[in-house]
A = this chain, B = another copy of it.
Amino acid sequence: MLNPDRFFDTDPSIKNIARDLYSEVKDLPIISPHGHTDPKWFADNTPFSNATDLIIISDHYIFRLLYSQGISMESIGIPSIDGTRVEQDKFKIWRIFSKNYYLFSGTPTGIWLEYIFKNIFNIEKDLNQDSSKKIYECINDKLKSKEFLPRSLYEKFNIEVLSTTDNPSDKLVSHKKINESSWDARIIPCFRPDSIINISDDQWINSIKKLESVVGYSIDSFSKYIEAIEERRSYFKEMGATSTDIGIVNPFTFELSNNEIESIFSKALAIKSSLNDSKLFTAHMLMEMARMSVEDGLVMQIHGGSYRNYNKQIYSKFGRDKGADIPLRTEYTNNLHQLLNKYGNDTNFKLIIFTLDESTYSRELAPLAGHFPSLKLGPAWWFHDSIEGMKRYRELTTETASIYNTVGFNDDARNLLSIPARHDLYRRINSNYLARLVATYRMDKAEAKRVNHALGYSLAKENYNL
């Protein structure tokens, strides 16, 4: 029901090549090296509860836009953390969503949802107020069926490997359970130490306590802290991890002396550290994470430039990841100087950078990736994981960095159902981008086919050591 030529250029001389290129990649297995699905789904393999929880309440892309149009978080059932009562009638929530579904027209969320409704649930009707109930029931019915169990979906979607994102203190019981089961799937963790790296976060002390409890010793010095991190990385690796990931506001890298870093760590434990201490601590930890990656071979990812929990009212009522993270201008050339000068020439080190500041694509990131052997560019991220965003990404990076210094796709999905939708959109946009290069004599067709396969499959596999 979705048009087979959707998102391709209308010009037939491009469209025909795009079709041809797409046909060769559309059924490739999915490599998903970075995302936020819950490993428990696959460990337990119990049905998803209902359309509202699965599609609306778990997805900040959806409720942020509803909220921006004056629809309260309470009315669409976003769970509060302060005891505020929120709507519990799941269908009532679904109806609000249906009525406002037109808001997503022209957005990537709208495209993913269409794929989910039409291609995964085989629903013919368009979602609106009239069809709301019928579609809600149809989805809920299917969710109860065997073919919509998490493991069935993983298989149906032809996923070859799926990485989750996990706290350093996470015991990874679900990953372990999956590994030890007879189910033949590759669901791996990714080491994300944000909670223990940001000493200005009011939860930092708690995060250190959790880390202490999982390693089983007291973390009263920076050297103990590093020991604990190395231990956890090693455990993550054992559980299948091939990468780490850090989310920071500013990618400033700077190495402190032992005395300096121990002193800041002590102040942090005593809740006496300053904002500048915090900045230096993170800068030093980026250097440490790079060093550890050189040593243990885990790929290092940096997701920078997001002001998390910008809206304090939403944060105090509903907590993190509620659509209120706002990008900031981000600088890479000066900030990454120490890290790249110490580790960037090491061909065994792999660093993947993501950005929310598109002005850095052509100015800083493509030139850096087009020089340093260790540095690769992550795909267009978050708000920019969209048709225009991916187009800009390629147009702004290819000519300077070459396609081969980019790493293929990360779906970054929270909603399992959106994974094939996102990969399909990505593969379409690549196919069309390459078709335009072919049609204007900028790339020959055989090379375009090789590149398209690399983008859709092998680059992600290679760059994430999968």
- A217: chain B residues within 8 A (beta carbon): none
**Beyond A70-B347, A402-B65, A442-B387, is A372–B311 a contact (Cβ under 8 Å)?**
yes
| Cβ of A335 to closest chain B Cβ, rounded Å | 11
Task: Report A110-125 CB contacts with B as 1/0, cut-off 8 Å.
Answer: 0100000000000000
Contact B105 A451 (CB under 8 A): yes
- A6 nearest in chain B by CB position: B441
Q: Does A399 sit within 8 A of B, measured CB to CB? A: yes
Q: Does A323 sit within 8 A of B, measured CB to CB? A: yes
Q: Does A213 sit within 8 A of B, measured CB to CB? A: no
Contact A367 B383 (CB under 8 A): yes
Q: Does A106 sit within 8 A of B, measured CB to CB? A: yes
- A10: chain B residues within 8 A (beta carbon): 11, 13-14, 436, 439-440
- A11: chain B residues within 8 A (beta carbon): 10-11
Task: Report A202-245 CB contacts with B as 1/0, cut-off 8 Å.
Answer: 00000000000000000000000000000000000000000000
From the candidates B5, B68, B371, B436, name the one contacting A370 in the complex (CB within 8 A).
B68
Q: What's the Cα separation between A404 and B70 when bound, in Å?
A: 12
Interface window among A146-154, A192-200, A252-260, A338-346: A338-346
| Cβ of A170 to closest chain B Cβ, rounded Å | 29
- A106: chain B residues within 8 A (beta carbon): 398-399, 402-403, 437, 442-443, 451
Q: Does A171 sit within 8 A of B, measured CB to CB? A: no
Q: What's the Cα separation between A9 and B9 when bound, in Å?
A: 12
Contact A341 B370 (CB under 8 A): no
Contact A373 B105 (CB under 8 A): no
Contact B357 A340 (CB under 8 A): no
Q: Does A296 sit within 8 A of B, measured CB to CB? A: no
- A181: chain B residues within 8 A (beta carbon): none
Contact B373 A400 (CB under 8 A): no
Q: What's the Cα separation between A103 and B105 when bound, in Å?
A: 38
Q: Does A396 sit within 8 A of B, measured CB to CB? A: yes
- A368: chain B residues within 8 A (beta carbon): 326
- A6: chain B residues within 8 A (beta carbon): 440-442
| Interface set, chain A 155-195, CB cutoff 8 A to B | none
Q: What's the Cα separation between A334 and B327 when bound, in Å?
A: 10
Q: What's the Cα separation between A282 and B104 when bound, in Å?
A: 37
Question: Which residues of A line the B interface, CB within 8 A?
Answer: 2-3, 5-11, 13-14, 64-65, 67-70, 102-108, 111, 126, 307, 310-314, 323-329, 331, 333-334, 337, 340-341, 344-345, 347, 356-359, 362-364, 366-373, 375, 383-384, 386-389, 395-396, 398-405, 436-437, 439-444, 447, 450-451
13 further A-B contacts with Cβ under 8 Å, apart from A107-B399, A313-B341, A329-B364, are: A6-B442, A7-B442, A10-B11, A10-B14, A68-B372, A103-B402, A106-B437, A108-B399, A310-B337, A311-B341, A327-B363, A359-B363, A366-B383
